[in-house]
């Protein structure tokens, strides 16, 4: 990949109207995925035309402007980022920012289906930590949740990542009546391999085939249930994301809780998201957004992009308004998580 150097001068740091310094960028590199998880997508998805999606070179350039403006953590997401053709060329190019000390961390969230193929290359490119989505340890249930995933392939990918020296965190969406009886087993499995486990409340994003009020399981309830069987101690550990952690005395491992509904994490939000089409969302749970693709393609220099980013950060909201109950059983937002970036 050809490296495009910035033409901006000293970049102004990104501070939103509430005094939060924006240090964390999540970038979706594709809306496509080889799974169709029941809480994320409809089974019959229509994906974006390729012409609307930023090229790898454009993604590199856009990420680099954000890094100049103070981003220290960069996470690549999707859809499934590792199904994007030639994705390693982007990751290898972005790793220059780690080598130069401009970026503290380059990481990604993945469903694990392609990890066996890419684990060694990811480690060589400076990826030290990844999140892998595993909602169940039952192969049949895994296929039912993902509609097409193979748990064995994902576990082989996790093995490959660990063997390559990459720290793995397991993400599991809490689904009422589906996987709530598995959390003890998942704790033992994850902590037995020195992997943290993070539980996530289902988020009301995008139309799906099911009813999210049937899926929704409050993590406040899950934590109370777990505390009856495990000794949970508050932890100051943070990764820069929204999870709040406890340490499990019996295993020495950590459990994270991401609770956008029962207890939102907005007051300390230092994150923004860019979609694969170059749309900047200042908040996952709000529709307000800024087109960055147009200024990106309007000039070879980066001044227009930087100005558009500044304008957007100046209106980053205080937080979201997610609600999920029988009176609000429609999605809070029409866009799917795969569009915004998981």
Residue 79 labelled as part of a binding site? yes
Residue 140: alpha-carbon gap to chain centroid: 25
Using an 8 Å Cβ cutoff, are 117 and 154 in contact?
Answer: no
Using an 8 Å Cβ cutoff, are 188 and 251 in contact?
Answer: yes
Residue 266 labelled as part of a binding site? yes
Residue 297 labelled as part of a binding site? no
In whole angstroms, what is the distance from residue 242 CA to residue 129 CA?
A: 16
Residue 244 labelled as part of a binding site? no
Residue 283 labelled as part of a binding site? yes
Residue 269 labelled as part of a binding site? yes
Residue 37 labelled as part of a binding site? yes
In whole angstroms, what is the distance from residue 237 CA to residue 163 CA?
A: 24
Residue 75 labelled as part of a binding site? yes
Residue 128 labelled as part of a binding site? no
Residue 72 labelled as part of a binding site? no
Residue 273 labelled as part of a binding site? yes
Task: Say which residues have a Cβ less than 8 Å from residue 114's Cβ, sequence separation at least 6.
Answer: 80, 82, 83, 157
Residue 26 labelled as part of a binding site? yes
Residue 8 labelled as part of a binding site? no
Residue 69 labelled as part of a binding site? no
In whole angstroms, what is the distance from residue 225 CA to residue 257 CA?
A: 14
Residue 109 labelled as part of a binding site? yes
Residue 33 labelled as part of a binding site? yes
Residue 169 labelled as part of a binding site? yes
Residue 177: alpha-carbon gap to chain centroid: 25
In whole angstroms, what is the distance from residue 90 CA to residue 55 CA?
A: 10
Structure tokens at 184: 């003890």
Annotated binding site: 26, 33, 37, 39-40, 75, 79, 109, 133, 169, 203, 266, 269, 271-273, 283
Binding site listing for S-adenosyl-L-methionine = 39, 79, 133, 203
Q: Please give the annotated binding residues for GTP, written as ranges.
A: 26, 75, 109, 169, 271-273
Annotated binding site for [4Fe-4S] cluster: 33, 37, 40, 266, 269, 283
């Amino acid at each position: 990949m050809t490296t495009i150097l910035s033409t901006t001068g000293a970049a102004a740091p990104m501070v939103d109207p509430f005094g939060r310094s924006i240090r964390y960028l999540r970038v979706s590199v594709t809306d496509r995925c080889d799974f169709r998880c029941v809480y994320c997508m409809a089974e019959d998805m229509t994906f974006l035309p390729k012409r609307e999606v930023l090229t790898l070179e454009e993604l590199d350039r856009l990420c680099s402007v954000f890094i100049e403006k103070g981003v220290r953590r960069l996470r690549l997401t999707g859809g499934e980022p590792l199904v994007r053709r030639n994705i390693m060329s982007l990751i290898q190019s972005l790793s220059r920012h780690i080598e130069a000390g401009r970026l503290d961390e380059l990481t990604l969230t993945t469903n694990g289906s392609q990890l066996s193929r890419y684990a060694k290359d990811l480690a060589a490119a400076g990826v030290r930590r990844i999140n892998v989505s595993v909602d169940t340890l039952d192969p049949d249930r895994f296929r039912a949740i993902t509609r097409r995933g193979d748990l064995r392939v994902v576990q082989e990918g996790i093995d490959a990542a660990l063997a390559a020296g990459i720290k793995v965190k397991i993400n599991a969406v809490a689904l009422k009546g589906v996987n709530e009886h598995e959390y003890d087993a998942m704790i033992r499995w994850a902590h037995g391999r020195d992997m943290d486990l993070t539980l996530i409340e289902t988020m009301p994003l995008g139309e799906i085939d099911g009813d999210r009020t049937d899926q929704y399981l409050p993590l406040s309830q899950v934590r109370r249930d777990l505390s009856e069987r495990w000794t949970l101690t508050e932890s100051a550990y943070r990764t820069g994301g929204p999870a709040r952690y406890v340490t499990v005395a019996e295993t020495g491992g950590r459990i994270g809780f991401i609770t956008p509904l029962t207890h939102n994490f907005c007051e300390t939000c230092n994150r923004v998201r860019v979609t694969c089409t170059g749309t900047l969302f200042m908040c996952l749970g709000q529709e307000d957004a800024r087109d960055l693709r147009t200024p990106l393609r309007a000039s070879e220099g980066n001044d227009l992009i930087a100005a558009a980013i500044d304008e957007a950060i100046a209106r980053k909201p205080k937080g979201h308004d997610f609600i999920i109950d029988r009176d609000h059983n429609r999605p809070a937002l029409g866009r799917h998580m795969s569009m915004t970036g998981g």
